[in-house]
Every structure is written in C-alpha cells, then in structure tokens.
Amino acid sequence: MNLGNSPTLAPQYMAMIPPVKLSEIQKKYLEDLGKLGKDPDALEIKDRRFQGQAWQNPWSKALVSTYLLNSRYLNELVNAVETDPKTLQRIEFTTQQMIDALSPANFFATNPEALETILQTQGQSLQKGIVNLLGDLGKGKVSQTDESGFEVGQNLAQTEGAVVFRNKLFELIQYKPLTDQVYERPFLMVPPCINKYYILDLQPDNSVVRYMVSQGHTVFMVSWKNADASMNQITWDDYVGQGVLEAIRVTQEISQQDKINILGFCVGGTLVSSSLAVLAARKQEAIASLTLLTTLLDFTDTGILDVFIDESLVKLREKTIGGAEGRYGLLSGLELGNTFSFLRPNELVWNYVVDNYLKGNSPPPFDLLYWNGDSTNLPGPMYCWYLRHTYLQNDLAKPGVLKVCGESVDLTKINCPAYVFASREDHIVPWHSAYQSTQILKGPIRFVMGASGHIAGVINPPHKKKRHYWTNSQLPKKTEQWLKGAKEVAGSWWPDYTEWLAEYGGKKVVAPSQYGGGKYKKLVAAPGTYVKEKAQKV
C-alpha cells in the first residue's frame, strides 16, 4: 500500500540542524571513527544479523562496525533536526529505511555467510536463490512462508460451522456448539476487512473462535468478500449498512434475541463502532456488550502509519480510485501488504531477502505469515472515506461531524458495556491511542493491555502459558497514570475476557442442534466461499 507519498530526505533538512549541534555530532563521529581505526573491536557488535561465525573475520567485523557507527550517527543527525513533528517523523522513517536497506547482510559481496553457503553447496544456493527471486518477482512480494503448506478449510479455519447468510459484501458463519448448553445471547465477531477473518481461527490450538465456542458462546463470524471490479463503488456506508448492521440483524433473527454481544478487531472495530453510533442515533438498543480489539476510534496519534498520509495523497487516491472525478477502482491488497511489511523491514523483508535469495533457502510453513500474505483488495470509495475521515481529519471522533447511513455519528452515544483490548508493542494501533476509546465510549469499560504486537498480542491461547497482560479498574485521562496503577498478570488475557463476557451472555439454554433458523438455512459448510477468493490483480 502507498498510504501516502513516499517520504524523502531532502538536503535542505540538514540546514535545520543548529550549527553548534551539527559541529558536536561531527566531532564526536570523527573521534569514534578514529578509535575504530585503531581498534576494530572498539564497538561491541550485538546486532543479531551479524552474530554468525562467518562474520567474525577481521574484514567483516570492520565493515559491520563502520556500518553500525554510521547508522548511529545518521540517527543522531535526524534527532537533531528542528522541524514540525510530522516532518521529523518522515525523516526518521526514511532514514531508518535507508539504514536497514544498506546493511552489509543484504548484499552478496559483503555477506560472508552467503558466500560461504555458495562454496558449501557448490553454487546450488545461488541457483535456488535466483529461482526464489524470479518467483517472488512474479508474485510482487517477498515470500515469508511456504504457501503450499496451507489451505483454508483444510489446515486453517477448521472450526466446524456453516454459512447461514450471504450478500454481496459478506458471508455470515455460524459455528457448531461444543457444549451442551450455551449462553442465550449470541456472540458476533467482525474482523478487519483489510485481511481475512481466519486470523481468529487459524488452527485448533490457537483459534479464538474455537476457544469462545468451548466457553459456551454461540459464535457468528463475518467473512468479508475480497473486493473485485464489481465492488469498485462500494462505500463506508455500505460496509456499515449492508455489512455490520445487516450481520447484527440476521444474528438477532437467528438467535431470536433482541440484544447480542459483538466484537470488532482493528478496522472491524472502527466499523462496528460506526454501526453502533448509527443504532444509537436511531434509538435502537441491539447490543448487550461491545468488544474492541486493537482498534482506533480517536486517530489523533496513529503511530508510524501517519508517515504516509497527507492531504495530497488522499486527494490523489480520491481522484484515481475514490470516484472524485468519476474514476472508481480498488486498492490493491498486495500494495497494502507490502507497505505493512516495510513498517518492520528487518523482520518482514530483509531477513527473507537474505535467506531466500542470497542463501537459496525456502521459508518454512508458518500459519500466521500465510494469513499475512493472503491479501484482500478494498473498494476505492470506502478506502478513501476511511483515509480522509479517520487518519487525515479524525472526524469520526468528533460528535456530529459525519453522517453514516443517513445518521449523525456520535460515538459518545454508545453506552453499552465495553471491553477494550490493546497490545503494548503494537506498531499499527499504538496502545495509548487505543486507550482513548475509554474516554469516548460512555458505558462501563474494562481496558486491558496485552504484551507483544498487533496480532501476537491478540492470538495468545491460555494453554501455551505465554506472555502477560495488565489491568487497572481506573481509567484516568492520561495513559501514563493508567499504566502506573496497572497490575501485571501472567499468561493469556483470554480467561479474563471470557469471565467479563459471561456477565452479558444471558442465561444458559440448550445448545442449538442445527444451523440458522426460520428462513436462514445452511448454505455451505464453513469456512464458506468468500474467504477462499484470492485478490484479483489491480
């Protein structure tokens, strides 16, 4: 994705560094460079990219030390720039991209491990690397996993269920109960439309869906259609009205319950909150509880993604795919995925470049990375609305500024109980920004912060006994105060969540023996058809 114009580091930015500070940095750099010239071991090398035995020869150590020293002082120069915060963020981002790309590990001539592998394999690694490179050029992305090792519905998205409703935007999956009794109120899950839903149902031992079913919930899942050319005029209003609101209505009808519990993940949470604001404006009380996982409602601080977004980029997108001049199109899921990978280039790009191309290895199968590469396209008008009214203008958080489905949107009118979850190391939805939802929503709120990142923080099954999370019943305005008073708890946050959700499930009833009900019948077995559709090239 190109969320914004590619940031560039123009020469004039150097003039923004105060001369005295620039002189200090230059002096210190020359001193450290001189020390390195006299003693190649003057700089301790802790970077994991250069820990292998092949890197321990004097020439490679000198090269790496010089690279690390230059990297350090480039960042010091950036930190010394005096400019506005957004410009500084762009300079920092561009500089780090350049530093990561120029690592000695990324080139044959300066990577002793790659050269050693060529000799050991008598050139076979070079041949395999070229084959891997040509294959990835055809796909338009760097391979992160062995895609032949997975098939949705076979060893991914295996929880038993059935599609009970379908329209042009989504399929609604109902899952088979695993308990004799279930809570009377159903549990509707709305995943992000920029990815496929099975992140919540990867494999049985790490499936959020299976865990919730095992806890006695009748789970329904929205499976968004992978946008194709027929959907290039679909709007945000459509995703709310024909998407989330329709899923709520059908779930109510099938369960014969006036109120349901609903969960939104990432962009799915933003869509759900928009939908609940519409219901609030219509005086319709359909929700017993709301769950937001790594979701932004207040887009004041969007972290690293803010680097890409400005008025010129949004206008360009609106003119080319958003319908501003009668031109409609799709945002490529491949473009979106590549951009997210370059938010963490060393982990998600360059290490695979080195391993796949320079060393001729094939990446092992990994379910999470397969899902990460299973891209989805987005309708241009929907995407452009989302960019302008959230990331660029933060209109969604401003009561009464926007109209969605004909209703004035005011998120403060959402007053049902809410469970808000954030991940501490999340680089896509910073936890302190996700926390701001607690200052917007007006019902009783429980905020929980998990360890790790955007996905790993969420997908943390209890039986693995990994990580930890923080809780604090107080919700002060400042995140620092919340964290200061928070209690750290070992293990997964899932049990904490299911204990909270049980309060809003209603009484226990006999588990349904069939899918759907009334006019809603089983259409096809889960995982359905939409999730298997591959993104068409844009």
For 177, other C-beta atoms within 10 Å of its C-beta total 20
Secondary element (H or E) of residue 164 = strand 161-166
> Do 239 and 229 contact (CB within 8 A), yes or no?
no
- On the question of a cis peptide bond just before residue 527, with omega within 30 degrees of 0, the verdict is yes
> Do 250 and 520 contact (CB within 8 A), yes or no?
yes
d(CA 112, CA 115): 5
d(CA 241, CA 227): 17
How far out from the chain centre does Cα 42 lie?
Answer: 40
**Sequence-separated (6 or more) residues with CB below 8 Å from residue 7:** 90, 91, 93, 94, 307, 308
> Do 95 and 73 contact (CB within 8 A), yes or no?
no
pLDDT of 52 reads 94
Residue (of 453, 497, 452) closest to 471 by Cα position: 497
**Sequence-separated (6 or more) residues with CB below 8 Å from residue 506:** 183, 184, 185, 257, 288
CA distance readout (Å), 148 to 77, 134, 141, 206, 527: 45, 17, 16, 21, 19
Provide the 8-state DSSP code for 323. Answer: S
Written as one string, the DSSP assignment of 489-536 is EES-SHHHHHHHHHTTS-SEEEPPSSSSBTTB---EETT-SGGGPPPP
Task: Please list the residues that pair with 187 across neighbouring strands.
Answer: 219, 261
Structure tokens at 511: 């588990």
> Do 265 and 192 contact (CB within 8 A), yes or no?
yes
Residue (of 375, 347, 370) closest to 453 by Cα position: 347
Residue (of 243, 283, 281) closest to 262 by Cα position: 243
Q: Tell me the residue type at 48.
A: R
d(CA 308, CA 2): 7
d(CA 105, CA 38): 24
Place of tokens 């009205």: 241
d(CA 240, CA 512): 28
d(CA 166, CA 156): 21
Q: How far apart are the first and last CA of the chain?
A: 12
Q: What is the crossing angle of helices 112-120 and 124-139, to 10°?
A: 120
For 339, other C-beta atoms within 10 Å of its C-beta total 15
Considering only CA atoms, give the Rg of the chain: 25
Secondary element (H or E) of residue 316 = helix 311-320
| Cα torsion angle, 134, 139, 142, 146, sign | negative
pLDDT of 9 reads 42
Catalytic positions are 266
Read off the pTM: 0.93
Q: Are strands 418-423 and 287-293 parallel, antiparallel or unpaired?
A: parallel
> Do 255 and 465 contact (CB within 8 A), yes or no?
no
SS3 of residue 465 by DSSP? coil
| Cα torsion angle, 62, 64, 67, 71, sign | negative
**Cα angle, residue 411 at apex, residues 410 and 417 outer, rounded to 5°:** 140
> Do 458 and 294 contact (CB within 8 A), yes or no?
yes
Task: Please list the residues that pair with 174 across neighbouring strands.
Answer: 162, 220
d(CA 298, CA 308): 18
Residue (of 409, 407, 438, 408) closest to 421 by Cα position: 438
Written as one string, the DSSP assignment of 3-18 is -SPPP---GGGGGGS-
pLDDT per residue rounded down to tens, the chain (538 residues): 344 343 444 444 444 889 899 999 999 999 999 999 888 888 889 999 999 999 999 999 999 999 999 999 999 999 999 988 888 999 999 999 999 999 999 999 999 999 999 999 999 999 999 999 999 999 999 999 999 999 999 999 999 999 999 999 999 999 999 999 999 999 999 999 999 999 999 999 999 999 999 999 999 999 999 999 999 999 999 999 999 999 999 999 999 999 999 999 999 999 999 999 999 999 999 999 999 999 999 999 998 898 989 999 999 999 999 999 899 999 999 998 888 899 899 999 999 999 999 999 999 999 999 999 999 999 999 999 999 999 999 999 999 999 999 999 999 999 999 999 999 999 999 999 999 999 999 999 999 999 999 999 999 999 999 999 999 999 999 999 999 999 999 999 999 999 999 999 999 999 999 999 999 999 999 999 999 999 887 7
Structure tokens at 375: 């891209």
Task: Please list the residues that pair with 267 across neighbouring strands.
Answer: none
Backbone torsions φ then ψ of 407, nearest 5 degrees? -115, 145
pLDDT of 39 reads 87
d(CA 409, CA 202): 34
Query: What are the structural domain ranges in the chain?
Result: 11-139
Structure tokens at 376: 């989805």
